[in-house]
Structure 1
Amino acid sequence: MIEIINKEIRIDGKPQMIMCGEIHYFRLQRDEWQDRLDKLKLAGCNAVASYVPWLCHEPAFGQIDLHGKTRPELDLAGFIDLCRDNGLYFFLRPGPFIMAEIKNEGLPYWVYEKHPEIVPSGWDGQPATTRTVDYLAPGFLAEARRWYEAVMAVAAPRLQPNGGNIIAIQLDNEIGMLSWVSNVPDLTDFVLNDFARWLGSAYGPEELAARYPFALEDTVSRNAGIRSPGEEYAPALHLDLGHYMRNRFARYVDELRGYAEEFGVRDVPFVINIHGTGGGRGFTYPIGISQLYETYEGKPGYISGSDIYFGDLDMNSFQDLYLINGFMDAMHDEHQPLTSVEFNCGDGNFGSTFSSRYDPSAADFKMRMCVAQGNRLINYYLLSGGRNYVLDDKPGDGNDRIAFTGERHGFAAPISPEGELNYTFPRMARGIQAAMAVADKLAVMREERDDVAFAFIPDYFMTEYRYPGSAKMKEIYANIEANRAHGGWETMARAMLLAGYRFGAADIQNKPLRPDETPVLALTSALYMDAGVQRKLADYILQGGGLFLYGELPLYDMEGESCTALADALGLRHIGDFRDAPHVYPSVVTEGWLAPRPEVRSYHVQTFEPKPGVSAETIMRLYGNGQACGFDIRAGRGRAVVITARYNCDIGLFRTALEKLGAKAGLTHDCPYHGIFMTSTSNEAGERFIHMLNLDGLDKSFRVYEDGVPLFDGREITLGSKDGVMLPVGITASGILIRHSTSEITGIADDEISFRLTQAQDWIVVDTAREILPCDDYTVENHEGLKRIVSRLHAKVDDRLTVRFGS
């Protein structure tokens, strides 16, 4: 039985770490399956994942083949059983949409031909530019139900609770993504009728009359007014349409779950895949969360999974991954864990042009950060390449194959279409094996957090649909997009991580915000913010919370109407805005406890003055006119630091501000070169790992401190160029208590523990009555009642050490 409890994935009651590799059985010859599974196991994975392409299995209506009768490689049942025979779990991804570069995103051609009404039109009645469909159209749902009936007939007897190996089933894939990236909302007549019903339930008649110039019952005027909105109500439509689409996607997912359960699926989690990374960054990823969180938030039996396409994880992007994991977790309930169901691996050569070249550390770094933040399932995508066969009924589209990538598919995968291992495989495998060696520990550990959370406002990312003809929406979107990520992530979030802060995120839009649960809140704010969220922040401060606001202090609600609830609570009156322009270079200077600091160029400065009687200390001003853009404010029982000027990534500034608010980084180091990501995890028994990544291409030596006290006996640690480690602290293995170690555990057996060395001379300090058997590779010293195992091997010459124990 699979249970989702306490942010753990429990299989027959035992918490598990699931490391999957995506292998597309339908892109391989059947006699290649075992070879690819052998290489998956060589990498250290314990599970296999695969899409199930409807296009391939039912190319003609009513002729479904899931057992390989038409093509041997289409034997889904046989592939799942082969994975079972290899001791591997299976993660089933049956669509209906699968993307995966399959034509029509995986839907059969006949679906569109049989049901032309499912093809959406968008703004101004223009046809959709992608192969998306109206998810809730009765014709599409009827076909999807037939598809699920066939797939679940294969899946149900092979579920882990039924004695098989299927441990999770994904419902559809990247729902809403095609509409977002094309800015073509699904505006079929069926959708607009449904939207009208939703509006009627959300608002009373008088409210609707004030919001829109058409009557819901007048379908002609209504449909035209929604597809081509007037400027006076475009902001209202933006909000309503976004909120409705969330509800629509949630109903679609529940419909698919109902089909799966109808056809025998029970006691395994249903997975929702969230899209959004792009260009190697995470700035747009929360759009996917915003679109889909109502499909899974707080619902038993659902878990969400990320799409992680970052390429290299480096000083440019590391805070992006940390933040989006935090945002995902903020939307979960107390039981739902983090997972990643498309975890980019390989060398980045997606176009077979060698125009991109990932560092070998790429997949390893991302895995280590995700595991440290509580990911319990990671699916390496795409682990093995393959080939796209030619369709029997040739569409005459230039290649006639099942996909648009040509004959070979998965050029970038660690295992090539021909089964060769590329240069990224060894480092990826080393990381997986290290995690799986201590999987029983990691499967129950939580990240340890300092007293600060990063604020998440889902509606700040509800920007997937924008009417091209609306100047007002362009203005609102431009401001929100400029403030919600980019500068804020690359200044505030990056500085917080480099200062040593370990933090989660808080959904301040939908969930309570209380000082006893979130003592300090870091907020990247735009000029626009929902009135209710502004009031919630005001109450939070007045009740004793600490707010660090960076960006712009909101002066409008999300529809562009004047709203200064937060500014009023802080006692600030807006004076002006100053932006850079040709031959104009706004700069800011610090004063008070932020001084002395050099003058800094700022591309946008929003200035305020405190109202009479307000307890506010000015800490930053615009150079020249002296207008204030930074404040330390006391309000009620709380305190706020407000900086409304673009600033640089001044680590000391952000650390000082957060400490003034009461949040101090507990885990720090003394390396002057920065570029080190560090966090820690622990379980209820007090066992811990210190997780560290050196994001730069140079070795770094430093000491690690916790609450100012040196760890690892105060010893200086050298973290190699682009290396990552999970160093054990208080870990019990084979009955041996490892007090701390500068080397990483790679294997545990009854009478031995294996390590990966990381130093010129590693220490492993243990507390045990068992004899440590002698070996030429190490010496054993008695030290303050403990035993210190000192390696004689240099990590850069030979990084493998096995310590053996007697009875």
Structure 2
Amino acid sequence: MQKELLTALHTQRSKLVLKIENSRFMIGKEEFAPFSAEMHYFRVNKRYWSYCFERIRKAGFRIVCTAIPWNLHESPPGSFDFTGNSDSRKDLVVFLELAREFGLKVIIKPGPYIDSQWHNGGYPDYIFEMQEVLARDAQGNLIPLSANGNSGARKPSLGHPRFKSQVKKYFNNLAEVIKNYAFPKGPIFALQLDHQSEGDLGPFAADYNLDSVRGPYSLFLQKKYQDLKLVKSVYKEKWKSFEEALPPKELLVKNPADLVKYFDWLEFKEEWTEKYLQSLKETLQENEISIIFFSNWSGHEEILPQVSQAVLESDQIRSTGVARWNDDFWLLERQLKYWGGGNFPWITEFYCGNSSSNPAEHRKYFPVTPAATKFLYTLALSSGVKAFNFHMFVERDHWYDAALGLDGSIQPNYEMITRLMQLNDRVPVNQLQSTARVGLALYRPYLWYRRLSTKYPFDYFDDLQRIFSGVSRDLSYLKIDYQVLDLEGSNFENCDLIFVPSAEFMSQAVQEKIVNLIKFGKKVILFGQVPVWGPDFKKCVVLSKFLKIKSVSDRQVAEVEDKQRCFLAHLLGYLKKSGKGSKEIMWHQNKCVATRTASGKGVGYFFSFDFTSHKNPVKLLFLEELFKENKIYPAGTTSELEVDLKIQKFDNSYVLYLFNPTGSFWNPKPENKKDVIVKLDTKRLGLKGSIKLLELVNGETIKTSANELASGLNFSLGEFDSRIYLIGK
């Protein structure tokens, strides 16, 4: 009966328009640019809401976003107040009514965990009094809710039946209120499920609450292995049934096959998180809330989110990312490029200002200037991001340098963000297309191995990460744009050249995918060790047979050479040919360290050393020639190595981005200017005659010509300075 009711509801609402199309929100009969301003109603005095809404509208926004803290609205326990009867901070209803009056659509983040430096992240205190619902680490200890552990709160076990019952009670009560304000009845059209669920906890940090985990873990193993004898042989356990299965508590690896149980555990944790988010969504749908649902994931060095985007999208839950301040320009760019490559590139936590336990003191040493806000925004835009939620647009406790103060007063970042919003009037942001033809591939099982933090049995994973990072830097140095893509989830349709890290294990499906990419005319550069197993550590040599090579491990720093040059590099090992068709192209003391295998128009390269430059001009020249050999050319050049250049296109026009990532985000010295000569390949871009460069934020206009652009124009850029020019007639 319940399924029939949900089906009827979805059928009815499918006749109404609520969708994402052409990187815009289609709500009812209106189209909305995907830009929102976050304001927490419960942290801003009610008398200032109208001032804030008015200035949010004037800044160019038609969408507001807010968190909803569970523990504020259920106080005392069992008593829910969303109308402000007991406390004006709780008046969610008036906030939504006022948003409707101002013509604003609304995105909500009801948790149950919201973080945002709010007490317990929104969890009610009584949750922590229920000892049985709290998560445990491998030793049975409680786990601090926050990274610093200062609050005294402990992380709940998301799968515990009693915890899920409390969450359902909260969502049921919330839904009774918001269903009258949710699409199609009201302004709410999108909802974030939880906040960075499970976070970046290590593999043995959580969750070992057996009341939560044991049943689902047993079912996971039963579904995957089916035969108890098989799982016992793999795990080397004496279980009499799947119900006796317990998750691994510490890393004990004597041979590669021992890793299987740990990979299974990490895969289970991902599936468990996905099912938790799905259960939250289903609870809301049962309460007639059927809108756009999304999840939010933090950034880390390995970039991939906790749960595969493809898996969540199959559940109709969109994955979204975070953009926060980071002095490591290239890591930040890689993270943004990953999110910029999605079906709907959405950053739902784009930092407007910064968080701090002591904002006044932090602002003195780490100010977020309008120039820094512009830098982060234009970098995200150049990386393919098309949708932004400005977090926080309105100040709150534990925050500084937002666009508006707690009383709605205008602060320095307000004018800058207003100008950034006006970009939409000058260029169709949703239509900007990358000119990148190079892809950097990420592989989830390698993320699993790095999370285990072990050097055995594969001691070269730090080398793979260093090479991956180095490739992105070298592409930036050579002014060649790139994409960051999931090896398992992407079809690499828009890539001509793809970089792929390779370890001794890789699934048969992925190995076959790489072979097919080469056969279909792609150029693939693999680096590391040639795979001999799948992630189950059964023999799998698809790539080895196709490339006709095998690896021999031997890590050392050594001189590498080809017929034209030689340079020092970190070796991961040697390559041995195992048949005809593979051509040796680089050596160390007559031992092969790089090969090239052609297949029709496609080519597969394999490097068993760190070929990235680390600013070595000889190695950088080698890479430049490798790109030219594969017909990968930059759209332009700059006279300064670290000044980055990007080009995007729309219709017959182009947008030029310039970034100077030297110095610090926090304390850039504008007086430290770099005079940079920028040249564009005007012939390749099809630019002719007189040209005007219009800086889309500060309005600077440069009148020039295609010939002058080809010969070189001088630009003066300060530390962490950015420019965005529309190239037109």
Into which bin does the TM-score normalised by the smaller protein fall?
0.7 to 0.9
Instruction: Report what 2:232 is aligned to.
Output: 209
Match of 2:424 among 407, 414, 436: 436
Instruction: Report what 1:88 is aligned to.
Output: 104
Instruction: Report what 1:337 is aligned to.
Output: 344
In structure 2, the CA distance between the partners of 1:674 and 1:276, relative to structure 1 (3 Å rule), is closer
Match of 2:303 among 285, 288, 291: 285
Gaps of 5+ in 1: 278-282, 388-408, 580-585, 716-739, 747-755, 766-793, 800-807
Give CA-to-partner distance per residue, 1:133-164, whole Å, 9 cap, x none: 222322222221221122223322223432x3
Q: Which amino acid aligns with 1:702?
A: V
- Which SS does the other structure have where 2:197 is aligned? coil
Q: Distance in 2 between matches of 1:350 and 1:365?
A: 25
Instruction: Report what 1:380 is aligned to.
Output: 390
1:109 equivalent to 2:125? Answer: yes
- Which SS does the other structure have where 1:677 is aligned? strand
Match of 1:606 among 555, 573, 578: 573
Checking the alignment, whether the CA contact within 8 Å between 1:17 and 1:442 is kept in structure 2 is: no
Matches of residues 182-581 of structure 1 in structure 2 within 5 Å?
183-205=205-227, 206-214=229-237, 222-223=245-246, 226-228=248-250, 231=253, 234-266=258-290, 268-277=291-300, 283-286=301-304, 289-293=305-309, 296-300=312-316, 302-311=317-326, 316-317=328-329, 319-328=330-339, 332=342, 336-346=343-353, 351=358, 352-353=361-362, 354-358=364-368, 360-387=370-397, 409-417=398-406, 422-433=411-422, 435-438=423-426, 441-443=428-430, 445-462=431-448, 466=452, 473-475=454-456, 479-483=460-464, 485-489=465-469, 491-510=470-489, 518-558=495-535, 564-579=541-556
TM-score by length of 1: 0.74
Q: CA deviation at 1:50?
A: 1.3
Q: Which amino acid aligns with 1:29?
A: N
Q: Which amino acid aligns with 1:127?
A: L
Instruction: Report what 1:50 is aligned to.
Output: 66
Q: Distance in 2 between matches of 1:523 and 1:220?
A: 39
In structure 2, the CA distance between the partners of 1:328 and 1:255, relative to structure 1 (3 Å rule), is same
Q: CA deviation at 1:531?
A: 4.2
| Percent of paired sites with the same residue | 16
Q: CA deviation at 1:688?
A: 4.8
In structure 2, the CA distance between the partners of 1:762 and 1:59, relative to structure 1 (3 Å rule), is farther
Q: CA deviation at 1:74?
A: 1.6
Q: Distance in 1 between matches of 2:80 and 2:107?
A: 21
Greater displacement, 66-75 / 232-241? 232-241
Q: Distance in 1 between matches of 2:104 and 2:717?
A: 33
Instruction: Report what 2:727 is aligned to.
Output: none
Q: CA deviation at 1:6?
A: 4.7
Q: Distance in 1 between matches of 2:476 and 2:30?
A: 33
Q: Which amino acid aligns with 1:643?
A: F
Give the length in aligned residue pairs: 665
Q: Distance in 1 between matches of 2:22 and 2:407?
A: 42
Q: CA deviation at 1:340?
A: 0.7
Gaps of 5+ in 2: 1-16, 146-153, 663-672, 707-715, 724-729
In structure 2, the CA distance between the partners of 1:323 and 1:532, relative to structure 1 (3 Å rule), is same
Checking the alignment, whether the CA contact within 8 Å between 2:438 and 2:498 is kept in structure 1 is: yes
Q: CA deviation at 1:2?
A: 2.4
The CA RMSD over aligned residues, in Å, is 3.5
Instruction: Report what 2:180 is aligned to.
Output: 157
Q: Distance in 2 between matches of 1:677 and 1:192?
A: 52
Q: CA deviation at 1:203?
A: 0.9
Q: CA deviation at 1:612?
A: 5.0
Q: Distance in 2 between matches of 1:549 and 1:238?
A: 26
Q: Distance in 2 between matches of 1:757 and 1:764?
A: 19
Q: Distance in 1 between matches of 2:326 and 2:521?
A: 41
Checking the alignment, whether the CA contact within 8 Å between 1:152 and 1:263 is kept in structure 2 is: yes
Match of 2:142 among 113, 127, 131: 127
Match of 1:743 among 686, 694, 697: 694
Q: Which amino acid aligns with 2:98?
A: L
Q: CA deviation at 1:705?
A: 2.0
Structure 1 consecutive aligned stretches of length 4 or more whose deviation exceeds 6 Å: none
Q: CA deviation at 1:182?
A: 8.0
Q: Distance in 2 between matches of 1:99 and 1:795?
A: 37
Give CA-to-partner distance per residue, 1:578-614, whole Å, 9 cap, x none: 33xxxxxx2333323xx34x623x3444222334534
Q: Which amino acid aligns with 1:341?
A: T
Q: Distance in 1 between matches of 2:436 and 2:654?
A: 16
Q: Which amino acid aligns with 1:757?
A: G
Checking the alignment, whether the CA contact within 8 Å between 2:108 and 2:191 is kept in structure 1 is: yes
Q: Distance in 2 between matches of 1:132 and 1:222?
A: 24
Instruction: Report what 1:757 is aligned to.
Output: 699
Checking the alignment, whether the CA contact within 8 Å between 1:364 and 1:431 is kept in structure 2 is: yes
In structure 2, the CA distance between the partners of 1:610 and 1:411, relative to structure 1 (3 Å rule), is same
- Which SS does the other structure have where 2:576 is aligned? strand
Matches of residues 658-677 of structure 1 in structure 2 within 5 Å?
658-661=627-630, 663-665=631-633, 667-677=635-645
Q: Distance in 2 between matches of 1:478 and 1:613?
A: 30
- Which SS does the other structure have where 1:128 is aligned? coil
Q: Which amino acid aligns with 2:271?
A: N
